[in-house]
């Protein structure tokens, strides 16, 4: 067992800040190589993806547009309710654009599945998905992100944008929360 992370005895570090930075750079290179030098519209899923998205778009380089979707499926708990609600929609059209949907974590797959279909109706040139974390243990729909940072075990994680009751988003690493 590693030392408690960031002074909280309920959080154990799973992925370090340094490893996240390294993997984010790798993901950005993969995406840029695949989509070329043209403009890319990155769509961050709020709130969890905001820290990862900020680092990712800086690493991506080239012409990048940033959009956000507010989405809720947890409603304050540690398990997804399975009900996806759009709480904030895109502010600009994405028709004809190469889009990257940027997620913090793919758990049940319901949110990613819903959002890819939701965005496809807006006729982008392409939609790829980038997820910092993939937790396949609770998958309810057959869906995989196009690009995944880390596959993690079936544990509740916080930090680097992920929260528990709006706390711990500011941790610079991914930690496992154990009450």
Domain with 21, as residue range(s), is 17-152
The helix (H) or strand (E) run that includes residue 52 is helix 50-60
Does residue 132 sit within a domain?
yes
Q: Which two tokens stand for residue 114?
A: 């819903």
Q: Is residue 166 part of a domain?
A: no
Q: What is the CATH number of the domain that holds 53?
A: 3.40.50.2020
Supply 21's token pair: 């930075």
Report if residue 158 sits inside a domain: no
What are the tokens at 129?
């998905």
* 74: three-class secondary structure by DSSP: coil
29 belongs to a structural domain: yes
**What stretch of H or E contains 40?**
strand 40-46
| pLDDT tens, N- to C-terminus, the chain (179 residues) | 344 455 567 899 999 999 999 999 999 999 999 999 999 999 999 999 999 999 999 999 999 999 999 987 755 555 555 678 899 999 999 999 999 999 999 999 999 999 999 999 999 999 999 999 999 998 999 988 999 999 999 999 999 999 999 999 999 999 999 98
> Does any domain span residue 178?
no
Phi-psi region of 168 (alpha: psi -120 to 50; beta: other; left: phi over 0): left
Q: Verify whether residue 107 is a known catalytic residue.
A: yes
Rg from Cα positions in the chain: 16
Give the total number of structural domains in the chain.
1
Q: Is the pTM of this model over 0.75?
A: yes
Flag whether 137 is in a domain.
yes
Helix (H, G, I), strand (E, B) or coil at 95: coil
Which pLDDT does position 174 carry in this prediction? 98
CA distance 138 to 140: 6
Please report the pLDDT score of residue 3 as a whole number.
47
48 is a domain residue:
yes
Whole-angstrom CA distances from 37 to 55, 67, 112, 119 are: 18, 19, 26, 23
Which one-letter DSSP state was computed for residue 162? B
Q: What is the pLDDT of residue 1?
A: 39
Q: What is the pLDDT of residue 55?
A: 98
Which member of 55, 104, 107, 163 is catalytic?
Answer: 107
In a domain, 175, yes or no: no
Q: What is the total residue count of the chain?
A: 179
């Amino acid at each position: 067992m590693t030392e408690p992370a960031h002074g909280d005895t309920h959080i154990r570090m799973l992925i370090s800040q340094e490893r996240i930075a390294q993997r984010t750079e790798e993901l950005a290179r993969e995406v840029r190589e695949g989509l070329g030098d043209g403009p890319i519209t990155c769509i961050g899923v709020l709130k969890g993806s905001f820290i990862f998205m900020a680092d990712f778009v800086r690493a991506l380089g080239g012409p990048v547009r940033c959009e956000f979707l507010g989405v809720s499926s947890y409603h304050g708990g540690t398990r997804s309710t399975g009900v996806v609600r759009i709480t904030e929609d895109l502010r600009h059209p994405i028709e004809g654009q190469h889009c990257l949907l940027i997620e913090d974590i793919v758990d049940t797959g319901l949110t990613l599945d819903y959002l890819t279909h939701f965005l496809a109706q807006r006729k982008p040139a392409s939609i790829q998905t980038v997820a910092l974390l993939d937790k396949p243990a609770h998958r309810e729909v057959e869906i995989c992100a196009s690009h995944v940072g880390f596959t993690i075990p079936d544990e509740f994680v916080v930090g680097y944008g992920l929260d528990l009751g709006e706390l711990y988003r500011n941790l610079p690493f991914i930690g496992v929360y154990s009450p």
